[in-house]
Amino acid sequence: MLVVLYFHQLGYSPLEVAMLFLLYEFFGIVTNLFGGLLAARWGLTSTLRMGLVLQIIALSMLLLPESLLSVAYVMVAQAVSGIAKDLNKMSAKSAIKLPVPEDAQGQLYRLVAFLTGSKNTLKGLGFFGGGALLSLWGFQGAVGAMAIALFLVLLLSLVFLRGELGSSSFKPKFSQLFSKSPEVNKLSAARLFLFGARDIWFVVALPVYLQTALAGNYVQVGSFLAAWIIAYGVVQTLAPAITGLRSDHPPDGRTALNWAMLLSLLPALIAYGLYKGYDPSFIIVAGLMVFGVAFAINSSIHSYLIVSYATEQGVSLDVGFYYMANAAGRLIGTILSGIIFQYYGLEACLLVSTTFLILACVISAGLPRRLQE
């Protein structure tokens, strides 16, 4: 949020802002692929701490004066940040499978939903903090404060995280990085289009649209997106109740397909409302609320399915491969967000988002209808 708002205010075009995240998302792909290998060899605690250290370094790199923050330099800093973020996410989401018995899939679904939802709720608070800190302390002050906060988190991890989670005698080779599981491959492909569809209009197009077309300032834009993501996270934690979880029937491929089909309708409806000239403030706010609920449920179902599909011996490898596809979708979505919005506007971003979601539906149709226990 800091990078999007600050560099757009400096006069960067939407495409240039999108390019700032190019290496961030690209190295997310690389990190999830190789991070699973590192976690299997060294343990999840080590990869989580590595992520914290790298995020502190990335933030510190942005403390230079404005005149020295070139596009290339910020791209490198964002690359380090992307590595850090995905090391942490892969570590946390892999670790959640370890304490849960194989026959307790309902419990696993609830834990994954809670972890995913609470993570996104905190992300929403970060969106609010980004907009507020940018207004109060400026760009350098904001990233400096975040670096200090993360250093304290690193110290807490050294005190409270004992031992190595997820380490085993299993030492995977490079050839084992790519999943050989059909269900993991299909779910990963669906995830690519799911998150590509979101980021095509959410990463660059929406914040810039809110800041320009709707004349929102830093705090207003940051607060609006923060409220959306906090609500999104809350819905994710409630996903087991919303999807009607029964202990003997957790979500399967049919569940993923049904919710993806519902989601695919929403960007097209928002685009139609904007095209017809309805009040854009109402259309964006109402559309985002409904989209957020449906997307949150989709994300929780996917997050549960990948943890359930993953083999316990190589959980970090399967989860890493899956989030590699997630990062690839974000990369594609981010680039398209800048290009399409700059030349064709928000409505075009929404229509391309719809196309991606339809592709996610087609792929989800091939997911197993019942998990094999």
The pLDDT assigned to 301 comes to 92
pLDDT at residue 372 greater than cutoff 50: no
Q: What does the pLDDT look like over 81-120, one tens digit per residue?
A: 888 988 888 788 777 777 777 677 778 888 888 888 888 8
pLDDT at residue 319 greater than cutoff 60: yes
The pLDDT assigned to 196 comes to 94
Give the model's confidence band at 265: pLDDT under 50 very low, under 70 low, under 90 confident, else very high. Answer: very high
- From the list 318, 342, 270, the residue with the least C-alpha distance to 18 is 342
pTM, two decimals, is: 0.76
Phi, psi (degrees; rounded to nearest 5) at 121: -65, -45
Give the sign of the dihedral formed by CA 113, CA 177, CA 198, CA 265: negative
Separation between Cα atoms, residue 30 and residue 324, nearest integer Å: 7
Separation between Cα atoms, residue 206 and residue 74, nearest integer Å: 21
Give the model's confidence band at 29: pLDDT under 50 very low, under 70 low, under 90 confident, else very high. Answer: confident
Alpha carbon of 229 to those of 114, 154, 224, 293: distances in Å? 15, 25, 9, 10
pLDDT at residue 76 greater than cutoff 90: no
Share of the chain above pLDDT 70, in %: 87
Separation between Cα atoms, residue 204 and residue 334, nearest integer Å: 7
- Let me know: does 256 contact 243? Beta carbons within 8 Å: no
Report all structural domains of the chain as residue ranges with CATH numbers, in order of start.
Answer: 2-160+181-364 (1.20.1250.20)
Looking at residue 339, its amino acid is: I
Q: Provide DSSP, 250-307.
A: ---HHHHHHHHHHHHHHHHHHHHHHHTT--HHHHHHHHHHHHHHHHHHHHHHHHHHHH
Share of the chain above pLDDT 90, in %: 25
CA gyration radius, the chain: 20
- From the list 237, 210, 212, 242, the residue with the least C-alpha distance to 226 is 210
pLDDT at residue 349 greater than cutoff 80: yes
DSSP 107: H
Mean pLDDT of the chain: 82
Phi, psi (degrees; rounded to nearest 5) at 123: -60, -40
Give the model's confidence band at 197: pLDDT under 50 very low, under 70 low, under 90 confident, else very high. Answer: very high
